[in-house]
Structure formats: structure tokens, C-alpha cells
């Protein structure tokens, strides 16, 4: 495939799906501040979500845990649980993809309660 054709194809694919373009050009959006340690909340949320949904993944980094899941063949959501206030608080960010369902958000919030 010629480079021009490939670039045209790539632009058409990205333009056809807004959520796929968000993986490349998207700043995290803070959704909530939760009481509790980010690792504890992420472990609880992952355990509860993985029981009911397939395609849930978890990635641990220093100070951040990313939870992601599949919405459809071309759409994913991703939430970041970020350590805040020395580990006493957790900032919940929508970090990529489609907006997560209310079930996902309420599960994460319930784990902080």
C-alpha cells in the first residue's frame, strides 16, 4: 500500500469513529474525588466488574491504576484511579475511549464507600 493511500485510510478510520480518535487526542477528564486508597478501590472495582463483564483489564503504574473495558468491537472505555492527597484520596478520571456506563461508575464509587 502506498504511503498516501495508507494515510488516507487511517484518516478515514479515525474520522469515522470519534472514540477511536480519543485514544490519540484526549486529555483526562476528572469525574470524582473518592475517599480511600486508589489501589484498594481499583482492586475492589476490578473484582466486581470482572465477575459481570468480559473484557475488563487492569494496568498498575506508580500512582495510577487504569481500568478499561470493551463497549463494542471498536469502542473501549478507560478510567484512571489516581493517588491523591498522599494516598488518602483517589481522583477518578475518564482517560480514554467511550464514556463508561453508569454501572461501571457506580461500582467504582461503591468500592470507595
pLDDT digits (tens, 9 = 90+) for 41-55: 999 999 999 998 888
- pLDDT of the residue at 21: 44
| Residue 83: inside a domain | yes
CATH of the domain at 30: 3.30.160
Residue 60 in domain: yes
pTM of this prediction? 0.75
Q: Which helix (H) or strand (E) holds 34?
A: strand 29-35
Query: Does residue 96 lie in a domain region?
Result: yes
Q: Count how many domains the chain has.
A: 1
Domain that holds residue 65: 26-112
Asked if the structure places residue 105 within a domain, the reply is yes
Distance separating alpha carbons of residues 47 and 43, to the nearest angstrom: 6
Please list the pLDDT of the chain residue by residue as tens digits (113 residues): 566 777 767 666 555 544 444 455 468 899 999 999 999 999 999 999 999 888 899 999 999 999 999 888 888 999 999 999 888 999 999 988 888 999 999 999 999 98
Residue 13 lies in a domain: no
Separation of alpha carbons 50 and 26, rounded Å: 26
| Distances 41 to 3, 6, 78, 81, 99 between C-alpha atoms, Å | 45, 42, 15, 8, 19
Domain for residue 14, yes or no?
A: no
For residue 52, give every residue at least 6 positions away whose Cβ sits within 8 Å of its Cβ, in sequence order, or none.
none
In which residue are the cell numbers 456506563 written?
A: 101
Amino acid at each position: 500500500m502506498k504511503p498516501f493511500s495508507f494515510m488516507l485510510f487511517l484518516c478515514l478510520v479515525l474520522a469515522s469513529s470519534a472514540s477511536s480518535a480519543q485514544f490519540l487526542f484526549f486529555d483526562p477528564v476528572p469525574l470524582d474525588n473518592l475517599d480511600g486508597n486508589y489501589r484498594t478501590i481499583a482492586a475492589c472495582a476490578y473484582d466486581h466488574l470482572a465477575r459481570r463483564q468480559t473484557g475488563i483489564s487492569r494496568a498498575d503504574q506508580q500512582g495510577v491504576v487504569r481500568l478499561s473495558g470493551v463497549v463494542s468491537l471498536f469502542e473501549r472505555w478507560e478510567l484512571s484511579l489516581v493517588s491523591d492527597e498522599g494516598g488518602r484520596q483517589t481522583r477518578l478520571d475518564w482517560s480514554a475511549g467511550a464514556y463508561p456506563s453508569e454501572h461501571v461508575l457506580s461500582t467504582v464509587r461503591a468500592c470507595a464507600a
